[in-house]
Amino acid sequence: MKQIKQYENERVLVLGLAKSGFSAAKLLNDLGALVTVNDGKPFEENPEAQDLLEQGIRVITGHHPIELLDEDFALMVKNPGIPYDNPLVAKAEELHIPILTEVELAYQVAECPIIGITGTNGKTTTTTMIGLLLNQERTKGKAYLAGNIGFPASEVAAKATAEDDIVMELSSFQLMGIDGFKPEIAVITNMYEAHLDYHKTRENYVAAKWAIQENMTSDDYVVLNWNSEELQEMSKQTSAQVVPSSTKEKLVNGAYLLDGGLYYKEEKIMDAAELGVPGAHNIENALAAIAVAKLKGVSNEGIRTALSTFHGVPHRTQYVDTINGRKFYNDSKATNSLATEMALSGFANEQLILLAGGLDRGNGFDELIPAFKGIKAIILFGETKDKLAETAKKAGISTIIMTSNVETAVPLAYEQSEVGDSILLSPANASWDQYPNFEIRGDKFMHAVKQLEK
């Protein structure tokens, strides 16, 4: 870790805890900052706040007093999930207090290169693939996963050495809070419409994602999904070297699918059929990962070995169990329509029971009508169940069942199924109407599946 001096004796406000805020507060304290942590959760229910207080860090919990900003803070480090119209954040902007997210702190102290991955869908799978590829033949150091994948970036950067790499999944929320952040290699998996409740417009969302490359130079590389005409056009606006990837066309300067083979430039790496995870979307993810691996010097054999033995990540079309001839899959990470559409492409609809629903962000679901056609039954829950029911009717699904939540949906789905069917949780919505995060939603689903065996 670089021992930077810029925060010594500077007042810093960390707004919001969870994993990233907790790690940011610890790092800033280690760097000599005068840290104040403010979190909305009451102290007696807040183990992170209790831990930080024991370390001598000032903690204010249970509310967000606006008068805190009278204390002349030099910096605010904001939890990515807190919107910019939050009164404390808005007041900090009015006072011209710099507002960062902890990925910027991670960049400032990191001794090693950073590979940054963003996009609407496929980030976690692509990040995991890249980490496996970069560790496949490694003799020195390690490729660490960090960021939105669940490992706080500042915590990872604090322990990584110059011989390591940090493979960092980055959300649009995190990228809104950067300043000098610059990855050696950036990846944008795709760009669709998402999180408009936070970003307000698609233009704001795209701008947040595109910020990943804003500090990159001609010595750096940005891997872009060339299937997207929008990303093709945006590629003209970066100083980094562009490495395209595509499942639709041959690219002599990038990664591509051709006649069932995965290529980098003119060199065949492996057959697409050798990938350990199914689906056209995973071919796109693999091509982006292959591009990064080749830029980092991984051999074709190393790539083939890693990708053929990779069987996916938790909560992303994750096989759970087979019970009495019915296969169960957990795709809780599908928090938008496109992710569910991609998941459905890997199943035979006439033998599929779909579980869906969740947080209502104001959008409709008619784009899912083609993907829904032929589905055997759909079990719906959460705030969006009525909207999804309308979409299911338009798609011609005859069996539409409403229920309370994921846990009650599982036995209902089993009742509608027969030997040979698949039961898939792919909600097409965020979880926050009923669950703290998609991981807990997925865990509840898997627990309910296990209960069927009893």
Give the sheet arrangement for strand 185-188, strand by strand: 143-147, 165-169, 114-118, 185-188, 221-225, 241-246, 255-258, 261-264, 267-271
Q: Long-range contacts: 298-304, Cβ < 8 Å, 24+?
A: 298/133, 298/134, 298/136, 298/137, 299/137, 300/267, 300/269, 300/270, 302/133, 302/136, 302/137, 303/133, 303/136, 303/269, 303/270, 304/269, 304/270, 304/274
- Cβ–Cβ < 8 Å for 390, 360: no
Task: Identify each DSSP E strand in 331-402 by its residue range.
Answer: 352-356, 377-380, 400-402
Beta bridge partners of 15: 38, 78
The sign of the dihedral angle between the CA atoms of 59, 63, 68, 69 is positive
- Cβ–Cβ < 8 Å for 25, 7: no
Residue 385, annotated as binding a ligand = no
Could you give the CA distance from residue 151 to residue 145 in angstroms, rounded to a whole number? 7
- Cβ–Cβ < 8 Å for 383, 428: no
Residue 123, annotated as binding a ligand = yes
Residue 125, annotated as binding a ligand = yes
Residue 119, annotated as binding a ligand = yes
- Cβ–Cβ < 8 Å for 409, 381: yes
Burial (CB < 10 A; 0-12, 13-18, 19+), residue 261, is: middle
How large is the C-alpha radius of gyration of the chain? 23
Could you give the CA distance from residue 103 to residue 208 in angstroms, rounded to a whole number? 14
Could you give the CA distance from residue 222 to residue 116 in angstroms, rounded to a whole number? 9
| Pairing of β 99-100 and β 58-61 | unpaired
Closest CA to 60 of 8, 13, 20: 13
DSSP readout, 281-298? HHHHHHHHHHHHHHHTT-
Residue 420, annotated as binding a ligand = no
Could you give the CA distance from residue 396 to residue 234 in angstroms, rounded to a whole number? 39
Residue 120, annotated as binding a ligand = yes
Could you give the CA distance from residue 161 to residue 59 in angstroms, rounded to a whole number? 31
Could you give the CA distance from residue 442 to residue 440 in angstroms, rounded to a whole number? 5
Beta bridge partners of 187: 117, 223
318 SS3 class:
strand
Q: Residues annotated as binding site for ATP? A: 119-125
Residue numbers in the known binding site are: 119-125
